[in-house]
Amino acid sequence: MSLTQKNSIVSSYLKMHGPSLATHEHVSVEQMRSGLDGGTMVLLGNPAHKNVSVTLIGQPGRVKVNANIGTSPMINNVEMELQKLRLAEKAGAHTVMDLSTAGDLDEVRVRILAESPLPLGTVPLYSVAQPYVARGEDPSDFSTAELLEEIEKEAEQGVDFMTLHCGVTAKAARLGSDGRRVLGIVSRGGSLLARWMKRHGKENPMLEHYDELLKICLKHNVTISLGDGLRPGAGADAGDAAQWEEVSVLGDLARQALEYGVQAMIEGPGHVPLHLVQSQIQGIKRLTNNAPLYVLGPLTTDAAAGYDHIAGAIGGAQAAYFGADFLCYLTPAEHVTLPGPEDVWDGVKASLIAAQSAETALGRPWAVERDLAISKARAALDWDAMAANALDPHTLAKRRKDFHKEKECAMCGSFCAIRMLEGLEPEGGCKKS
């Protein structure tokens, strides 16, 4: 049986939303069905998430962008997170992830689900460890039962996709923390599981109880985002043994999920030098049977603190061109502090630029047409049309505010190159005497 036969929720979504999705994504319903059955596409949408915007992830559909929000132990303001949620949606994000690690995590999650139709992703491991941290206890003291209960609770609440670090094996954790790496394990989930395995002397509980996770996820159509707990956190660590050990396991887990009827995507690398992006993306895709690839950046330089949204957009454009399907944004706050509302806006826009750049290079009609339309609008000095086709019309209007009545931009004014040749005969012509 195919995935769409085993997963009644996906089958139902395909019937209800297939035609409209096909039009928006510029693919046919049959292409979507084939992609879902082959595990190269997923349809995000948990029926318990009321009014969820069912979202397709997987090329040749549109490249999607995710925005991370959530509290931290040092900055815990639920209202600010909801403001960031609204800004992410307004900026054009296709999904959000709640990465909260402080406060009432259930409250934050439930309010996000109630206030936004964007598919919501979470990392259940954070919610399991957070009470231990709050009590000053070891965060790795949680039990397997607690972990499974948390995953089931979040599925029942309506979470649409979950990062589950099932591929962080004891072997991979050793490879990532034995001193070979410049920066060790940088994933919070990966590090937490590595600590849990070392202290308890057992294999990763998510891997050992994978069948139980699949059962929960199938019931609620929760897409498993197979976490990259051993992703490189420094460019020098990209493509090392720990990373590829995990990726090879993730490929097998994605295959098992597909056979069970559960949708799965793969989370990809973090820091990858520019010349390695192509081999990283294509290598991950090959080892995971072309499952949808969800990448953080990748960041093409480690030295962009304060500007990591730019480093991530450079890598994201390359990654999407070579096959990544889903870009997780980075903000100017990455590696430094919790993002604020303006950071969220900048991060979403940077990733949308990356997606647009990749899709234009791939010849996707909607992207090529957009670039052409704004170029024609510039030729005509048609500012309304420019705004209509800009990825950020809000910032365009803000920049032009003081000179919005002028035909030319304030950079050139009467030196406008476009207007310089107005009224002259075309090249080669001559005026009659």
Helix (H) / strand (E) element for 326: namely strand 326-328
Contacts of residue 213, Cβ cutoff 8 Å, sequence gap at least 6: 148, 151, 164, 166, 206, 224
Q: What are the domain boundaries of the chain?
A: 3-365
Residue 157 burial by Cβ neighbours in a 10 Å radius (0-12, 13-18, 19+): middle
**SS3 state of residue 225:** strand
| 234 close to 271: Cβ distance less than 8 angstroms | yes
**SS3 state of residue 55:** strand
Q: How many CB atoms lie within 10 A of CB 50?
A: 10
**Per-residue pLDDT, 433:** 46
**Per-residue pLDDT, 430:** 53
Residue 354 burial by Cβ neighbours in a 10 Å radius (0-12, 13-18, 19+): buried
Q: Which of 112, 125, 52 minimizes the C-alpha distance to 85?
A: 112
161-192 as b/e, with b when 16 or more CB fall inside 10 Å?
bbbbbbbbbbebbebbbeeebeebbbbbbbbb
Which single residue is written with the structure tokens 């720990």? 242
**Per-residue pLDDT, 241:** 97
pTM, entire model: 0.95
| 96 close to 112: Cβ distance less than 8 angstroms | yes
Phi-psi domain of 20 (left: phi exceeds 0; alpha: psi -120 through 50; beta: other): alpha
Topology of 3-365 in CATH? TIM Barrel (3.20.20)
- Measured CA to CA, the distance from residue 400 to residue 389 in angstroms comes to 16
Q: How many CB atoms lie within 10 A of CB 115?
A: 12
Print pLDDT tens along the chain (433 aa): 999 999 999 999 999 999 999 999 999 999 999 999 999 999 999 999 999 999 999 999 999 999 999 999 999 999 999 999 999 999 999 999 999 999 999 999 999 999 999 999 999 999 999 999 999 999 999 999 999 999 999 999 999 999 999 999 999 999 999 999 999 999 999 999 999 999 999 999 999 999 999 999 999 999 999 999 999 999 999 999 999 999 999 999 999 999 999 999 999 999 999 999 999 999 999 999 999 999 999 999 999 999 999 999 999 999 999 999 999 999 999 999 999 999 999 999 999 999 999 999 999 999 999 999 999 999 999 999 999 999 999 999 999 999 999 999 999 999 999 999 888 877 665 555 4
By DSSP bridging, strand 55-57 and strand 64-69 are unpaired
- Measured CA to CA, the distance from residue 124 to residue 97 in angstroms comes to 11
**Per-residue pLDDT, 101:** 97
Peptide bond into 298 cis (omega under 30): yes
Q: How many residues does the chain have?
A: 433
Q: Find the radius of gyration of the CA atoms of the chain.
A: 23
Residue 74 burial by Cβ neighbours in a 10 Å radius (0-12, 13-18, 19+): exposed
**Per-residue pLDDT, 425:** 73
In the DSSP assignment, the letter for residue 226 is: E
**Per-residue pLDDT, 422:** 86
Tokens of 429: 């012509």
- Measured CA to CA, the distance from residue 350 to residue 368 in angstroms comes to 18
Q: How many CB atoms lie within 10 A of CB 401?
A: 8
- Measured CA to CA, the distance from residue 364 to residue 14 in angstroms comes to 23
